[in-house]
Amino acid sequence: MAEQEDNRKELPGPSQPPFLEVLCKSCGEVRRFASGTDAGFAVYLINSKLGFGVPPALYIEAAKDGEESISFGPKAALVNYGEGWKLQTTIEEVMKEGYETASQTQQIPKQILSLMKPSESNYIGKPAAGTSPTTSFQYIVKILIAFSLMLLLGGALVFFLENLPWLIQRVSSS
* Domain edge (last residue) among 101, 123, 145: 101
* Domain edge (last residue) among 59, 78, 101: 101
- Angle value at C-alpha 93, between 91 and 96, nearest 5 degrees: 75
CB 50 within 8 A of CB 56: yes
Residue 59 in any domain: the answer is yes
**Residue range(s) defining the domain that contains residue 68:** 2-101
Reference 64, options 78, 80, 76, 48; nearest CA is: 80
Question: Is the domain of 82 the same as that of 146?
Answer: no
Residue 126 in any domain: the answer is no
**pTM for the whole structure:** 0.46
Question: Is the domain of 151 the same as that of 97?
Answer: no
Question: Is the domain of 47 the same as that of 94?
Answer: yes
* Domain edge (last residue) among 101, 126, 143: 101
Q: pLDDT by residue (tens digit) across 58-94?
A: 888 988 888 888 888 888 888 888 888 888 888 876 4
Amino acid at 13: G
Question: Is the domain of 70 the same as that of 156?
Answer: no
Q: pLDDT by residue (tens digit) across 120-141?
A: 444 555 555 666 656 688 889 9
Residue 122 in any domain: the answer is no
Q: Please tell me the predicted confidence (pLDDT) of residue 106.
A: 53
* CATH number of the domain bearing residue 67: 3.10.20
Q: How many CB atoms lie within 10 A of CB 62?
A: 20
Question: Is the domain of 30 the same as that of 93?
Answer: yes
Quote the number of domains for the chain: 2
Residue 10 in any domain: the answer is yes
Reference 88, options 12, 29, 16; nearest CA is: 29
